[in-house]
Amino acid sequence: MTLAPAAPTAAPTSPAFPVRGHTARLPWPFPDDLDAFRYSVNVEPARLLRRTAAGEWGATIVDLGGEEYGAIMADRRRILDADPHRVRIMPGMLPACWDLLLYYLRDLAASYPAIMRLDEDPRDPDRFRWRNAALGTDQTFVLGDAASLPWDPMTFLGREVPDDLLLVKERDGELCFDAGLVTFAAAWSVSFDVGMTMAEIHNPVPRLTREGITSRAEQFLRRLPVDQVYRRVNWTLSASGSRLLDVSLEELPAWAGDIPALVAAEDWGRLQLRIEVEHFIRLPMTGAVTFNIRTHMTSLEEIRQVPAWRDQLARVVLELPEDLAAYKGFLDYREPAMAWLTRP
């Protein structure tokens, strides 16, 4: 297992040009000295601030997205209202969903005290009041009482945070993905994958199982302690030439023709780098493990404005072995896209 250094990468120098907002908050997925990417169990402790060439990220488990929070949550709620099957909970997983809800609401209240608050009733340790001023939520609930919430506890939480929520639990000696709320999947479906073992989910990824990475990841999750939170960053080029987060299999007809049209038009500036920050937490009451994913998007046009990012992304994409580039979906167009990215 490859554990990234515990200390955050220091970047004492100022950004090369003034950036703000979306770009300044991006979790750039590559260490400064990385020129060649391969899959690994590249986890690191969470809640550590990392500085990038354009800003900083990572101080909190949940990144609300600044001024984009309202729009992201409106999209999330629209999808959930239209397709309730984006939430799948296997039998026996409701206690873990309550565990997840309480853990995250407590963390949100501690991370964003100006807009979020969780009050615990001193007379009844199971009774809580959650308020989120940014979304107008004001909800009293009783832990474990389904009738005290308008939705199941995973759906209630998913309507408050931009992260896709996944729960993994050991069943019959295997780690299984047994509950999830996923509205922003990258070419996969929560309905198809729920109930699968971790090995079954990762089998399609080239080299992952053959090189022992899946088994090392499972060992990491089995040993994850309750009092430590870890994260990793994953990346690809999106299957959409826009900031569209929902490129799930459920919506395949809506986005399948997007990249072929972009490639035909050689409109490379619209191509999107998709960055996924995953957090791993062993929940304190049930022992279930979260595998939550916060997705970020940035276009090649925006990356061009940060010279360090521009040059590094081109090196990494062009060096990637063909099987990995094919799996990520950009083998056929990576050369002209990276030539445009690095053009003077």
**Helices 334-341 and 307-319 sit at what angle, rounded to 10 degrees?**
160
Indicate the DSSP class of residue 157. H
Strand partners, 294: 277
Q: Are 177 and 166 in contact (CB under 8 A)?
A: yes
Q: Report the run of H or E that residue 108 belongs to, with start and end.
A: helix 94-111
Burial of 261 (0-12, 13-18, 19+ CB in 10 A): exposed
In whole angstroms, what is the distance from residue 136 CA to residue 134 CA?
6
Residues 6 or more apart from 204 whose CB is under 8 A from it?
Answer: 327
Query: Which amino acids are annotated catalytic?
Result: 232
In whole angstroms, what is the distance from residue 296 CA to residue 279 CA?
14
Residues 6 or more apart from 190 whose CB is under 8 A from it?
Answer: 85, 86, 87, 88, 180, 181, 182, 248
Four-CA torsion 307, 311, 312, 317, nearest 10 degrees: 140
Position 196, amino acid:
M
Q: Are 202 and 330 in contact (CB under 8 A)?
A: no
Q: Residue written as tokens 């302690």?
A: 225
Number of Cβ within 10 Å of residue 1's Cβ equals: 14
- Starting at the edge strand that comes first in sequence, how are the strands of the sheet with 116-120 ordered? 116-120, 127-132, 137-142
Task: Quickly list H helices, 40-89.
Answer: 69-82
Phi, psi values for residue 18, rounded to 5°: -70, 120
Is the Cα dihedral 298, 80, 201, 57 positive or negative?
positive
